[in-house]
Chain A
Amino acid sequence: MAARDQHGIGAPWGDAAAGDPANRAFQVVGKPHRKIDGLAKATGRAQYADDLVLPGMLHAKTLRSPHAHAMIVAIDASKAKALPGVHAVITGADLPIKYGVIPWTQDEHALALDKVRFIGDEVAAVAAIDEDTANAALKLIRVEYEPLHAFLDPRESLARPEPKIHEESKTGNVSKHVDLAFGDVDAALASAEVVVEGDYVFHGTTHAAIEPHCAVAQFSAEGRLTVWSSTQITHYVHRALAKVLELPIQKIRVVQPALGGAFGGKSDPFSLEFCVAKLAMFTGRPVKMLYTREEVFYCHRGRHPMKLRYRTAASKDGKIDAVDAKILIDGGSYSSFGLVTTYYSGQLLTGPYHFPTYRFDSTRVFTNKPPCGPKRGHGSVQPRFAFEVQLDELAEKLALDPIELRRRNFQGDFTRTVNGQRITSNGFLACLDEVERASGWRARRAKLGRGRGLGVAGSMYISGTNYPVYPNKMPQAGIQLAVERSGRVTVFTGSNDIGQGSNSMVAYVVAEELGMDVADIRVVAADTDLVPVDLGAYSSRVTFMVGNATIDAARKLRTQIAGAVAKEWQIDAARVRMGNGKVFDLDSTERCITTAEAFQIAEARCDTLGATGSYNTPTLGGDYRGGTIGASPAYSFTAHVVEASVDVETGRITCHKVWIAHDCGRALNPMLVAGQMEGSAYMGIAEALLEDHGVNRFGLHAGPSLLDYRIPTSVDTPELRR
């Protein structure tokens, strides 16, 4: 196993550039195949966590804090325990071990131990014969609180160190502070021909995935625990369960059933996973917990509100000399991925434009609000919004076309950013050209009339990073392939299909490599008893990393099978080709057998067939603390143009049309890529115009429902062109 950075030689799609006739050789890749679970989902047959019903299963509910910040003085659950139908009540004392997705900032308890930190924080859990009994029991639990000052404004958290929301934080209510400078920013600012500066605010938003969080646990007579959970990171849930429950990790099995959307909102280990497990252990019966929509809003982990200040220095012809950022991040009540968010808020801005010098100073503080975390485009969306607006301000000041300004600052391909990130291929200019052309930018922009206009923005994002959350030297993604002599291949993958299509993606890759029909490939995924580890569906890493691991495994298998067939035919292995469900001799194509026959030849000549593959990142990133966070083996690039109008009387903005261009590398399935492009544009517009995840003056969530949290309906969605 080696850290591999490219596909290596011999890839069927290998080294051909776009437009190269060699691309025509693809049989699966690049074609709009349906998702392997598409029909099951469309016909209502897919099994989600809440569809699981086990014999004797109990239902669990969570008691939540009505205080934004308070000490727990006493909990009396005796009345709840005495209610007929109640099987167990647990509190913080039953799960006293801390966890948290980032090993260095573990500050969460499954149930509050001695204090609560936001309205909705988990305090106790009840397992009962049904949901109504569990709910009735919650009302019988008496909790005595001693309220503390509640922090609702991040500026106050910064200014006021006491009372501390987390006793263990080193400086007051600061969750994380990162201050990094690359080059002499001050000198560049002092000598610049123009400087623009401004303050920007990004309010909070949440994921609003269709499926609420749900977990089911079963504890066997042999002392083995199984947890089915709507998680997007089985592996971290697995580790966290072992830690908190003090069970040997090999006795725990975590399974992710079909999942109804996540967008980052199911990346953390959540209270319900520990609670159902503990309750199953206590009662000896399977236990299910399904969050209400309101509870989903409380567990949140959505996009951080940020207050951002940017200064950009440039020459008169629009070339950037320096960018200087100061960012205050409202983290809510727990750390979650906050350490990464704080780095990402600065580290991911250094493309697609060239920054000769750059500095960012980002501070994440705790507040007594639902905890923030990763959401689609984690940590980069807020700075990107602010900086792209600042670029427009610069363009205006210099009387330059905003697209032209962006073009002039293009960083180029195969380069290194000022903060040490390695950029390989870079299609940003092509994206800009395309949206400029498609939107009729040049001809139309000045002629749309008052109140209507075209706007542009560019961006870049990672394809995973070489920071594996917990330090280890093992692969980030592993794959196993099992071959059956009938001509069927099963892929075992730890990756989490959260609707993005990763299970389909591995099937396409195997089908391409072994020249098979996608229908003859089965995928077993996200079940820790059955599959090798993958780090999970986050940081846009899955297609890149799991895809490369799959190529690795499939290619080993291909070599083995082709070798066996070559021996059988007594020809050179290079002459054996696999394609269209057939294996044939390149030099005399009439010598041709089915893939199944080839499998049988190989099985007879070699052994039971199978292969493993893996992916790990090469060494990347700058040589400084945090230099690997945000360092990705590959970046994707994008440009959007939006046509919008504002009603000058009402102030309402209507987004009429969006033109989207992405450089995501090779589109393994263009239909799924298009879905991602549409979904992200729609989500971005909604975050800009409609959605607002806030609390009121009491620290209560302003509207924890899909009526009051306004995700766009179909009639609010503009036309999307890609």
Chain B
Amino acid sequence: MLRLPKFEVRTPESLDAALALLAEFGPDARVIAGGTDLVPNMKHELVTPRIVVSLARIPELRGVGDAGAGWLRLGAMTSLADVAADARVRAQAPALAQAAGLVAGPQLRTMGTLGGNVLLDTRCQWYNQTYFWREALGFCLKKDGTLCHVVEGGSKCVAAASNDTAPALMTLRAELVFVGPQGRRVTPIDDLWLADGAANKKCASDELLVEVRLPPTGPGHRGAYGKLRERASIDFPLLGVATRIELDARGTITDADVVLTALQARPVRVKRAAELLLGVRAEGDAFLAAARAVADQAHRQAHPMPNIPGDAEWRRAMVPVYVRRTLEAAARGAGPVHAV
């Protein structure tokens, strides 16, 4: 077994105590939620915190609840399994329930949290490896080295955002609530991202994500998630597609959104999706034609690189297929699009 580097665990019982620990130890400290990303990364010596601050004993971080005015609040420590199974989430945000239900495998969804998923580190086949492996490679730009191996001679990290819930949350216009030394801040998830694989999130190391808020959706809301991966369980996405369609009482599309992930450092919104789908009834040939137009647009925008495993050309070719199928699934009130 790979050994974990030595560290100390702290288990604060309140948010304030947790924040105080983060302030005290600064860059030596790291938050652990479910640990399903952090622990492997520590074993690979990608992060080697001296202090690990566990959020497990702060009860208010866990659970799904009503945030008023139709908003849902999902505590950052809510497990992915609970998110996927929650009746309110399934009704109000089907794409999120589907995406959470497709993260990793059942054991990891029981341990893994929504907050940890939002804040998941980017992934790359040259990076998510053991110390020995990375040393044999001569390391890479993101950690311990100077070169990027994805783009030969590249000077910027293009490791891929690989969190399944992120694109779904973006289509849902979710908001993130952080607390830090400066107090509370609420930020739309769209504003979280940076286009840098080495650090793709605007989130300071002394901040905590406390909850994810979902705005209300109406009866015409439809959403679905599509995930390309080699096996039907465990694997990270080779491509993730979240779709949202809003229908009026006659079944005509009034708004739409499509966000892709696992291509580059940040999730990518497909341009003009709403425009291309607006006014189309969500069925039949007209809808299919519009969905194809969105798929083509997605294809033009998507330029996957050989950052994560899997043939980048194939991943690109799958973009329009998955966009179209996931839009169709949303229109039917179905999904996820998976294992096909």
Residues of A at the B interface (CB closer than 8 Å) are: 64-67, 119, 131-132, 135, 212, 290, 292-294, 647, 649-652, 690, 698, 700-704, 707-708, 710, 712-716
Contact = CB atoms under 8 A, between A and B. Distances in A.
Nearest to A132: B3
Given A64-B132, A135-B3, A710-B235, A700 B314 contact: no
Given A290-B1, A650-B318, A651-B314, A710 B132 contact: no
B233 A66 contact: no
Contacts, number: 67
Interface stretch (B64-72, B133-141, B179-187): B133-141
15 contacts: A64-B132, A66-B136, A132-B3, A292-B2, A294-B133, A650-B228, A650-B321, A698-B137, A700-B133, A702-B125, A703-B309, A707-B235, A707-B236, A714-B233, A715-B232
DSSP class of A's interface residues: helix, strand, loop or mixed? loop
B254 interface: no
A702 B309 contact: yes
A716 B6 contact: no
Contacts of B135: 66
A644 B125 CA distance: 31
A716 B232 contact: yes
Given A132-B3, A292-B2, A690-B230, A652 B137 contact: no
B234 interface: yes
Contacts of A119: 136
Given A649-B321, A651-B314, A713-B234, A292 B133 contact: no
Contacts of B233: 713-716
B300 interface: no
B130 interface: yes
A702 to B, nearest CB: 7
B340 A647 contact: yes
Contacts of B132: 64, 66, 294
Contacts of A649: 321
Nearest to B230: A710
Interface in B306-323: 309, 314, 318, 321
Contacts of A701: 133
B143 to A, nearest CB: 16
B145 interface: no
Contacts of A650: 228, 318, 321, 340
Nearest to B232: A715
A293 B136 CA distance: 17
Given A132-B6, A294-B133, A714-B233, 12 more contacts: A66-B132, A119-B136, A292-B2, A294-B130, A650-B318, A650-B340, A690-B230, A701-B133, A702-B125, A703-B125, A712-B231, A713-B234
Contacts of B129: 704
A119 B309 CA distance: 20
B231 A700 contact: no
Closest 7 CB pairs of A and B: A66-B136, A715-B232, A713-B233, A649-B321, A716-B231, A715-B233, A119-B136
Contacts of B318: 650
Contacts of A67: 136
A66 B134 CA distance: 9
A276 B136 CA distance: 25
Contact of B137 (A212, A700, A713, A714): A700
A119 B235 CA distance: 26
B111 to A, nearest CB: 15
B284 to A, nearest CB: 20
Contacts of A700: 133, 136-137
Nearest to A711: B231
Nearest to B233: A713
B312 to A, nearest CB: 14
A708 B44 CA distance: 14
A292 B1 contact: yes
B136 A713 contact: no
A698 to B, nearest CB: 6
B230 A294 contact: no
B263 to A, nearest CB: 17
B216 interface: no
A294 B309 contact: no
Contacts of A703: 125, 309
Nearest to B152: A697
A653 to B, nearest CB: 11
A649 B299 CA distance: 14
Contacts of B339: 715
A650 B6 CA distance: 45
Contacts of A131: 3
A704 B1 CA distance: 13
A266 B233 CA distance: 28
B244 to A, nearest CB: 23
B105 interface: yes
A293 B137 CA distance: 19
A131 B4 CA distance: 11
A64 B136 CA distance: 10
Nearest to B320: A649
B296 to A, nearest CB: 14
Contacts of B2: 292-294
Interface in B1-50: 1-3, 6
B234 A707 contact: yes
A145 B110 CA distance: 46
Nearest to A119: B136
Contacts of B125: 702-703, 708
Nearest to B308: A708
Nearest to A65: B136
A715 B102 CA distance: 13
A397 B301 CA distance: 44
Contacts of A293: 1-2
Contacts of B133: 294, 700-701, 704
Interface string B104-142: 010000000000000000000100011011011100000
Contacts of A713: 105, 231-234
A429 to B, nearest CB: 36
B22 to A, nearest CB: 27
A294 B132 CA distance: 10
Contacts of A714: 233
A66 B137 CA distance: 8
B130 A690 contact: no
Nearest to A135: B3
A654 to B, nearest CB: 8
Contacts of A292: 1-2, 130
A135 B236 CA distance: 30
A217 to B, nearest CB: 20
Contacts of B232: 713, 715-716
A294 B44 CA distance: 11
A280 B130 CA distance: 28
Interface in B219-233: 228, 230-233
A67 B138 CA distance: 11
Contacts of A716: 231-233
Nearest to A291: B1
Contacts of B340: 647, 650, 652
Interface centre among B132, B235, B309, B318 (most CB of A within 10 A): B132
A65 B133 CA distance: 10
B320 to A, nearest CB: 9
A157 to B, nearest CB: 21
Contacts of A702: 125, 309
A342 B47 CA distance: 46
